Amino acid sequence: MCGFVGFANRKENVIQNRGILEKMNETLCKRGPDEDGYYINDNICMGHKRLIVIDPKGGKQPMIEKSSYGEFVISYNGQIYNTKELRKTLEENGFTFNSYSDTEVLLKSYIYYGNDVVNHLNGIFAFAIWNNKKKELYLARDHFGVKPLFYTIKDNTLIFASEIKALFEYPGITKELDNQGVCELFGIGPSHTPGTTVFKNIFEVKPANFGIFNSSGLHLERYWKLTSKEHTDNFAMTCEKLKFLLNDSITRQLVSDVPLCTFLSGGLDSSIITKFAADYCQKQGLPPLDTYSIDYVDNDKNFVKSDFQPNSDNYYINLMTKNLHTNHHNIVIDTPELASNLEDAMIARDMPGMADIDSSLLLFCKNVKNEMTVSLTGECADEIFGGYPWFFREDSLQSNTFPWSIALSERQELLNPQISEKVKLKEYVDFRYNESLSEVEILDIDSKETAEKRKISYLTLNWFMQTLLDRSDRMAMYNGFELRVPFCDYRLAEYVWNIPWEIKALNGREKGLLRYVSKDFLPSEIVDRKKSPYPKTHNPTYLSKVKSMLTTIMEDKNAPINDLLNRDFILNILKTDGTAFSRPWFGQLMTGPQLMAYLCQVNMWLQEYQPKIKI
């Protein structure tokens, strides 16, 4: 796991721009704290920051391959999980290797397969490969966009990077917020429309896309999508295939030359990951698996039960660790840390995010990084298997908008009245919502319920899951820490996509089929536990802290937030401790204190990035 930057121009020499390249690369030092490297040629400059996970000596980047095929150079961020099979195929076709790194396998796979290489990869990846003979650049991103890749074009030069902040080190790239940017930030945010960012003329390579940059410009192409087809396996076969795919995905992702662990909340998803990982360690004669959980100071005293968060994690974590004999560590975060790291979390994302939901993960990864470098998490199971409340709640299903972001009128009211007259959030969100729904393939044989759930599943996979994957990548890599997501294996997603909803939601329960499959290897209390989201603090001092921070901001009438947002509305939010904004800003938990923390992040973002607002 790493970060990379670069720029290419087919028509002009860029070799003199090393200083620019180094400045860009330095912005990614947190993603890759172990090594850096550069490749500079007439028409291409590439920089790399490395987090060493596999083959410390043989995996240095940018990696150059010179052969009879020509000269090829790769900068790469990610992990390829089918390296063994790819290597075998390449060796059978005359390729030899100088290392055991997946970087070398990926580069030589591209030489062998060409542009079709992405259809042979199982992993999480973003990479750039320069073909010096053709003077052509190849960019690609994994199936679900676990790893990021941003770009912009200026004066026939393609500038690309793992994070947006690196692009702004290139001369002439401006930070501008236009009408669409405001809609993305306050109508869609902290999600974003695939391919876009909040900044004008700054784009991302969409998930499951590759691009070719040559003399005729940049050409992007989608190489994979979820395809609807009839599910023909009977129930028993379905369960067996799921068990195989789960085991195969998890065990493939346990390869590492550095310390590896799992995150364990005691929920169904993280327990499945931990069970397979712990069994693998035992079978391989490895030391007991290390597991980590997060909690907050005095949460045991302050926990408040809700529909979204029905119980705390501790009892279930203890049940799993005793059952599997793992080496468990409990990381306890204090309230002041959550608030003081809101700015770092915003910088990690390059935009306001999920407030303390972000800063808590950033702190969690920071603490785990003291002993580990890689962790497997249970992220993405809810999206793939139908675990969220909006899959079952009629008000959400009939909302005619993204069900995790239904407070559109409140979002509109939050805008500065002068901006609100020009920016119509609902119209923009409606357009993006319907645009996305138009991509869903519904089969004639689908039941009414399966058809309905295909739509909500597609939205959840392509919007909500992407937001959580962005969060995982940025918060972890800000600490030079790698998170892997076995449930995000595209083969698993493909298979589950076509399982009828009546089976997927077996017994009318969220993730009913996954629960049924898990009953043979997990304690019944874990299998039957009601879904509980990522834990947040219930300490009342957090509300006091973020309220104080936001009050201080609003006492300054020159604070940049006043140019963008409705000052009177924010003052009313402060007066009512957040209840004036009655529905969650995003997802299930962003109310009250989280909303105030988000507004603090907005002001921090405006101060740090200073975007020009042109509407």
- Is 184 exposed, middle or buried, given 0-12, 13-18 or 19+ CB atoms closer than 10 A? buried
Main-chain phi, psi angles of 164, to 5 degrees: -60, -40
Largest Cα separation within the chain, whole Å, is: 71
Helix (H) or strand (E) holding 34: none
Those residues with Cβ within 8 angstroms of residue 33's Cβ, 6 or more apart along the chain or in another chain: 49, 51, 480
What is the Cα–Cα distance from 385 to 188, expressed in whole angstroms?
Answer: 24
Listed residue (150, 174, 154) closest to 612, CA to CA? 174
Listed residue (3, 1, 73, 76) closest to 40, CA to CA? 73
- Bridge partners of 65, per DSSP, are 72
Q: Are 40 and 21 in contact (CB under 8 A)?
A: yes
The 3-class secondary structure across 434-500, one letter per residue, is HHHHCCCCCCCCCCHHHHHHHHHHHHHHHHHHHHHHHHHHHHHHCCCCEEECHHHCHHHHHHHHCCC
Strand duo 136-141 + 217-222: pairing: unpaired
Tokens of 534: 């990522």
Which of these is catalytic: 2, 45, 261, 281? 2
User: Helices 342-349 and 356-368 sit at what angle, rounded to 10 degrees?
Assistant: 90
Local structure of 612: helix, strand or coil: strand
What is the Cα–Cα distance from 552 to 515, expressed in whole angstroms?
Answer: 48
What is the Cα–Cα distance from 577 to 31, expressed in whole angstroms?
Answer: 36
Eight-state DSSP code of residue 565: B
Those residues with Cβ within 8 angstroms of residue 425's Cβ, 6 or more apart along the chain or in another chain: 183, 186, 187, 408, 411, 412, 415
Determine whether 183 is an active site residue. no
Those residues with Cβ within 8 angstroms of residue 312's Cβ, 6 or more apart along the chain or in another chain: 299, 300, 303, 532, 535
Q: How far is CA 288 from CA 54, 265, 291, in A?
A: 21, 18, 9
The 3-class secondary structure across 401-446, one letter per residue, is CCCCCCCHHHHHHHECHHHHCCCCHHHHHHHHHHHHHCCCCCCCCC
Listed residue (99, 7, 1) closest to 50, CA to CA? 1
Buried b (16+ CB within 10 A) or exposed e, 462-480: bbbbbbbbbbbbbbbbbbb
Listed residue (483, 475, 588) closest to 532, CA to CA? 588
Q: How far is CA 164 from CA 42, 90, 273, 346, 415, in A?
A: 25, 35, 32, 12, 25
Give how far the C-alpha of residue 283 lies from the chain's centroid of Cα atoms, to the nearest Å.
31
Tell me the residue type at 391.
F
Q: Are 183 and 423 in contact (CB under 8 A)?
A: yes
Active site residues: 2
